[in-house]
């Protein structure tokens, strides 16, 4: 198991790599090139520069999150082949610097959705909150506008203002395709890229839909055991895999996360481990990592990875904003660093038991 930390790049993340390096027992970062729009090739020079920046700071970078997929690919629109070719070129350039895993998602239009980015808890920490009523009464566009306000101008992946401007238009395009067509579009993409993933030795790891239920009438793919099975059956290659995100799948109480981890062992190169706290009405906020702070049994989750011989990468997922910190919602330094120490402790105890 290798423990890594998400970092958005020098221009997009207020946390310096020198601080990240001081987190105990850390192997490296998982990063991205935020300023390259979906559908375009990540130039080799830019990839090499990113790699140099991280390794000069004494860290490794073997995982990328995310290389985003252009909507034309998800919609099966004309022009998708060219964008898939660009995707494959990006994979090649990433393999040139030793990248081993690409985390991506196939969520239509938007990445994760929450009602609040900085919801204040009684202890004064601030965290992301999902209030169902607020979300149901929103449109993607109004959510995007709310995020822009709440985040104080930080562009969230998938919610960049220039994309939000086209949300209404894009959502109409999604309304024209069926859920089955959406599955077909995913299969087309996977069939095109997995042979190259194998050749470049890069494991493709899809991230589950967050939240795992349909929003705004948009299709959903990766949200439970059955659909993960269906998606992974597109190719038996170990290069076609899953990012197991406990917080995304675990929001649906029907999903037995430790059982899913055990079932898909061998097809999970990357894990996002976080806890969350359900309120009585099913709304939830993102809590600190320890079991006693939230609703998940974190020991059972880590044990499921450990007992199935997991040898991939783990990162703590979202954390709260604490100690007066301000920064990217979900991605402050301190709470995630404590998450790492906690997860590393659980792992050591399992190793020695
Ligand atoms: C991440 C996702 O911040 C998060 O919640 O887990 O945004 C994830 O990076 C993407 O969906 C993967 O493409
Ligand atoms: Mn995640």
Ligand sitting nearest the alpha carbon of 112: 1
Q: Using a 6 Å CB cutoff, which residues line ligand 1?
A: 65-66, 103-105, 111-112, 157, 207, 210, 245, 272, 330
Residue 313 Cα to ligand 1 middle (Å): 15
Catalytic annotation present for 317? yes
Residue 56 Cα to ligand 1 middle (Å): 26
Residue to mutate, 7, 9, 106, 207, ligand 1, most ligand atoms under 8 Å from C-beta: 207
C-beta atoms surrounding 132 within 10 Å:
15
Contact call for residues 343 and 23 (beta carbons, < 8 A): no
Question: Of the listed 245, 313, 334, 335, which one is catalytic?
Answer: 245
Catalytic annotation present for 272? yes
Residue to mutate, 112, 117, 276, ligand 1, most ligand atoms under 8 Å from C-beta: 112
Contact partners, residue 335, CB within 8 Å, separation at least 6: 125, 288, 289, 319, 320, 321, 322
Query: What pLDDT shows up at residue 152?
Result: 80
Query: What pLDDT shows up at residue 44?
Result: 98
Question: What are the structure tokens assigned to 310, written together?
Answer: 């997991």
In angstroms, the CA 295 to CA 270 distance is 22
pTM exceeding the 0.85 threshold for the entire prediction: yes
How high does pLDDT run on average in the chain? 95
Question: What are the structure tokens assigned to 236, written together?
Answer: 């038996």
Going by alpha carbons, the residue nearest to atom 12 of ligand 1 is 104
- Summarize pLDDT for 175-189 with one digit per residue, the tens: 999 999 999 999 999
Question: Of the listed 331, 334, 335, 342, which one is catalytic?
Answer: 331
Catalytic annotation present for 103? no
- 3-class SS of residue 289: coil
Q: Give the fold, CATH level 3, of 2-352.
A: TIM Barrel (3.20.20)
Return the HEC string of 95-119.
HCCCCCEEEEECCCCCCCCCCEEEE
pLDDT band (50, 70, 90) for residue 164 = confident
CA nearest neighbour of 288 among 335, 230, 223, 243: 335
Catalytic annotation present for 245? yes
Residues forming a β-bridge with 205: 103, 241
Residue 243 Cα to ligand 2 middle (Å): 8
Query: What pLDDT shows up at residue 170?
Result: 87
Catalytic annotation present for 289? no
Ligand sitting nearest the alpha carbon of 273: 2
Ligand sitting nearest the alpha carbon of 209: 1
Structural domain boundaries in the chain: 2-352
- Summarize pLDDT for 208-228 with one digit per residue, the tens: 999 999 888 888 999 999 999
Query: What pLDDT shows up at residue 319?
Result: 96
pLDDT band (50, 70, 90) for residue 121 = very high
**Mean of pLDDT values over 6-11:** 96
In angstroms, the CA 221 to CA 135 distance is 20
Query: What pLDDT shows up at residue 314?
Result: 98
Residues with C-beta atoms within 5 A of ion ligand 2: 245, 272, 317
């Amino acid at each position: 198991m290798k423990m890594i930390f998400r970092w958005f790049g020098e221009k997009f993340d207020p946390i310096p790599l020198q601080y990240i390096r001081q987190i105990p027992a850390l192997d490296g970062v998982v990063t991205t090139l935020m300023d390259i729009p979906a559908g375009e090739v990540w130039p080799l020079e830019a990839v090499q520069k990113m790699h140099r920046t991280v390794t000069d700071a004494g860290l490794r970078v073997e995982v990328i999150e995310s290389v985003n997929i252009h909507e034309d690919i998800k919609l099966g629109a004309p022009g998708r082949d060219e964008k898939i070719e660009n995707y494959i070129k990006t994979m090649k350039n990433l393999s040139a610097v030793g990248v081993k895993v690409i985390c991506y998602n196939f969520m239509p239009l938007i990445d994760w959705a929450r009602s609040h980015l900085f919801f204040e808890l009684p202890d004064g920490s601030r965290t992301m909150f999902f209030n169902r009523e607020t979300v149901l009464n929103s449109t993607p566009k109004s959510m995007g506008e709310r995020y822009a306000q709440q985040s104080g101008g930080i562009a969230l992946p998938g919610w960049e203002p220039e994309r939000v401007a086209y949300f209404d238009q894009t959502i109409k395009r999604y309304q024209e395709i069926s859920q089955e067509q959406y599955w077909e579009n995913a299969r087309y993409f996977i069939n095109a890229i997995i042979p190259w993933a194998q050749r470049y030795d890069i494991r493709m790891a899809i991230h589950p839909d967050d939240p795992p239920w349909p929003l705004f009438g948009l299709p959903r793919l990766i949200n439970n055991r059955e659909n993960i099975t269906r998606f992974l059956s597109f190719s038996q290659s170990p290069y076609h895999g899953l990012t197991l995100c406990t917080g995304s799948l675990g929001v649906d109480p029907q999903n037995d996360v430790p059982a899913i981890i055990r079932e898909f062992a061998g097809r999970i190169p990357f894990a996002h481990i976080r806890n969350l706290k359900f309120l009585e009405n099913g709304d939830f906020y993102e809590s600190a990592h320890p079991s006693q702070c939230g609703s998940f049994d974190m020991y059972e989750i880590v044990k499921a990875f450990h007992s199935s011989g997991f040898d991939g990468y783990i990162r703590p997922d979202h954390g709260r904003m604490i100690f007066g910190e301000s920064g990217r919602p979900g991605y402050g330094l301190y709470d995630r660093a404590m998450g790492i120490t906690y997860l590393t402790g659980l792992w050591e105890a399992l190793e020695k038991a």
